[in-house]
Structure 1
Amino acid sequence: MDAKAAAKDIKQGKISPLYVLYGSEKFRMNEFAAMLEDQLIAKEDRDFAVIPFDLSETPVQAVVEEAETVPFMVPRKLLLVRDASLFTAGKENAKLEHRVDVLNDYLQHPVDYSVIVFMVNSDKLDERKKIVKAVKSTGTVLAFNPLGAEELLRWVEKGIKDRGCMAAPGTAEALIANAGTGLQGLTGEMDKLCLFAGQGGTVDTAAVESLVHRGTEQNVFTLVEDIANLRLDKALNTLYELLKQREEPIKIAALIARQFRMILQVKDLSALSYSQGQIASQLGLHPYAVKIAGEQARKFGTDRLRQILSALADLDYQMKTGAVDKVLGLEMFMLKLGA
């Protein structure tokens, strides 16, 4: 079951006694937990009904004991349990003894007045553990991985629409290019843009460019994109903007090298018929970054990419040994690249 299907079941009153949420997308995980809280617990009951735990400080048997305790003044309790490393391959806190057998016994006969939500700080669960098999058979296990490239675009467009605004063509792409792929950051920027556009207004790329600040990595991404499209004047403007922000030239060169290395890796793996998702998993990248790197890769040959990386390695050596002025070295590199 995925998060969307689980959310649909919850809204229809089909509640699991236990949920295990895991994955790298912490924002969506927290969003799901908040939705569950909204659906199960009335606002006036939350002081008594929503009980947080941290397994780095509290043994799991204490969570089970609380779940089995009849609620006071409320019809149902929601137990939010963080740092649930007992479901992963990582080492557990040696200072605490987690009696997993107590949780396993509880799963055989869970009470109907408590819902336990374990939030696991890991990309995957340890399938070898008995407790993981037990929660899969009794409860609901949900993975929260990064959205695919197209899913992320739709998520941004829906987010703008849900705020009472319309997104002009290209707005979602521009927003991601400026703000990055982090959902928390994108949420804040959408709030700001829709406040600027007003209820029923339209958010366009001009608003994104004027209101959304680009971080160093996003600026380097734009710089490489401009180089790939032979817009050398815009690429140099981005470089000078980074230097105005007192970014270290060696750091800028390293980020440019990382982007070109990513483009080469994506190109090589695409040639081996790897899918976008497989490449993202293999390289530890967001699927949207893989999508853009794939588009950039089509504008460079493999040999040309290797030459660029070799030139960047030489530039790094010269900058660090003082053989060339750092800013001048970057300018010369970009002019040669543009030529």
Structure 2
Amino acid sequence: MSYLSFKKEVKRGDIRPVYFMYGTQTFLMEDLLIDIIRETSLSQDDPNVISYSLQDTLLDIAVEEAETFPFFGGKKIVIIKDFSLVTAQKQDTKLEHDLNRLQLYIEHPSPETVMILLAPYEKLDERKKITKELKKRTALVECAPFDEKTLSLWLDGQAKTKGFEFTVDGKDSLLERVGPQLLLLASEVEKLALYVNGDRVVDREVVELLVARSLEQDVFALIDFAIKKQLDKALIIYHDLLKQREEPLKLLALIARQLRIYYQVKEMTKRSYSQKDMALQLKLHPYVVKLASQQINRFEEKQLLLLLEAAADTDYAIKSGKMEKTLAVELLLMKLSSLHARR
């Protein structure tokens, strides 16, 4: 079940007895937990909302809690965090967990309890019996990074709950500045809602007024200005970042990373990879691949290789003491700007 499907299901009041949430997006897990707690008419500090971590609590204790009746009737929610028993990673605890007890429970769950298992991990061990049983017998919710379409729908939903809506350019501007990081996006949506305060629309002008670019987006803009031969604007961003105490070596590493992404996306585009497949292969968010795809036509393949080599040479020159780091990165930007870029 996807995140958005889950939201719709819970909103209808359809609460399952056991949920198994996995994936790297812990922000989504917390958001879904709030939905379940709200829909069951409980609050996070209610005694019938009990949370355990398998790092310091036996699984038996959590299952036993799920089997007992809630205080004063109604519903009970039992949250089991750090459920690493579905992964291949080595356990950081000496506790011996009884998986048979859990398996028996999910076959016949208590009607008064909602059990939620949280596995904030990228990969599950599909060979394990417990993994197969949980996928078979529970409501499975994947909390993975959103693709471009889901991210757009999620932002629309966040805005709607705050009483406003984005224009197309407003939403694009927010994503350009913040990137696909959900926690930061949610925080910025909150800020935008407070600013518009009753106005229904947030456009690019409002976003640019209130939302600062992330460091990665500053580097993206820096490269963008350089390849457009607007070196003065690129250097303004660079020196602004230095005033914010950003290390030139760190900025160099981010510039090299961005150029490497351009090269990889250009190569994979030649081989007819879809943007989705590129994101999977390169382990990047689809939105990052989309932005790179919009830039790669400015470069010849040889130019990107030369720039990557120049970035490596700059790194060596700094670390070997041959060049002062601030000046070295500035010279790299000049070299980037001096190359012919197709328009």
TM range, smaller chain: over 0.9
- 3-state SS of 2:318 partner: helix
The percentage of aligned residue pairs carrying the same residue is 38
Q: Which amino acid aligns with 2:173?
A: A
Change (3 A) 1:199 1:85: same
Q: Which moved more, 1:158-167 or 1:139-148?
A: 158-167
Distance 1:36 1:151 in 2: 21
Aligned partner of 2:272 in structure 1 is 273
Q: Which moved more, 1:267-276 or 1:293-302?
A: 267-276
Aligned partner of 2:341 in structure 1 is none
Q: Which amino acid aligns with 1:38?
A: R
Retained in 1: the 8 A contact 2:23–2:123? yes
Retained in 2: the 8 A contact 1:219–1:238? yes
Aligned partner of 1:39 in structure 2 is 39
Q: Which amino acid aligns with 1:246?
A: R
Aligned partner of 1:300 in structure 2 is 299
Change (3 A) 1:167 1:3: closer
TM-fit CA distance, 1:266: 1.5
TM-fit CA distance, 1:229: 3.4
TM-fit CA distance, 1:201: 4.5
Retained in 2: the 8 A contact 1:153–1:173? no
Matched, 1:105 2:104: yes
* 1:253-332 equivalence runs, <5 A: 253-332=252-331
Retained in 1: the 8 A contact 2:226–2:334? no
Matched, 1:241 2:254: no
Aligned partner of 2:16 in structure 1 is 16
Retained in 2: the 8 A contact 1:49–1:74? no
Q: What residue ranges of structure 1 are gaps of 5+ in the alignment?
A: none
Q: Which amino acid aligns with 1:60?
A: L
Retained in 2: the 8 A contact 1:19–1:139? yes
Distance 1:245 1:308 in 2: 26
Distance 2:47 2:146 in 1: 35
TM-fit CA distance, 1:241: 0.9
Distance 1:30 1:81 in 2: 13
Distance 2:24 2:302 in 1: 35
Q: Which amino acid aligns with 1:147?
A: F
CA-to-aligned-CA distance 1:81-104 (integer Å, 9 cap, x gap): 110011212223441010001111
Retained in 2: the 8 A contact 1:61–1:99? yes
Q: Which amino acid aligns with 2:307?
A: I
Q: Which amino acid aligns with 1:42?
A: L
Distance 2:113 2:92 in 1: 26
Q: Which amino acid aligns with 1:49?
A: N
Aligned length, in residue pairs: 338
Change (3 A) 1:220 1:66: same
TM-fit CA distance, 1:46: 5.5
Retained in 2: the 8 A contact 1:18–1:135? no
Q: Which amino acid aligns with 2:108?
A: H
Retained in 1: the 8 A contact 2:268–2:278? yes
Change (3 A) 1:325 1:92: closer
Change (3 A) 1:7 1:327: closer
Matched, 1:171 2:166: no
Distance 1:190 1:22 in 2: 25
Change (3 A) 1:182 1:271: same
CA-to-aligned-CA distance 1:263-306 (integer Å, 9 cap, x gap): 11122222222222222222221111111111111221211100
* 1:161-240 equivalence runs, <5 A: 161-240=160-239
Q: Which amino acid aligns with 1:28?
A: L
TM-fit CA distance, 1:11: 3.4
| TM-score normalised by structure 2 residue count | 0.92
- 3-state SS of 1:141 partner: strand
Retained in 2: the 8 A contact 1:16–1:140? yes
Change (3 A) 1:252 1:8: closer
CA-to-aligned-CA distance 1:65-117 (integer Å, 9 cap, x gap): 11111122131111111100112122234410100011111222221111110
* 1:72-87 equivalence runs, <5 A: 72-87=71-86
Distance 1:74 1:272 in 2: 61
- 3-state SS of 2:141 partner: strand
Q: Which moved more, 1:149-158 or 1:167-176?
A: 149-158
TM-fit CA distance, 1:160: 2.7
- 3-state SS of 2:217 partner: helix
Q: Which amino acid aligns with 1:87?
A: V
Q: Which moved more, 1:257-266 or 1:34-43?
A: 34-43
Distance 1:201 1:234 in 2: 34
Aligned partner of 2:65 in structure 1 is 66
Q: Which amino acid aligns with 2:234?
A: A
Distance 1:60 1:143 in 2: 22
Task: Say what the alpha-carbon RMSD is for the aligned residues.
Answer: 1.9
Q: Which amino acid aligns with 1:178?
A: R
Retained in 1: the 8 A contact 2:25–2:120? no
Distance 2:264 2:337 in 1: 22
Distance 1:136 1:32 in 2: 18
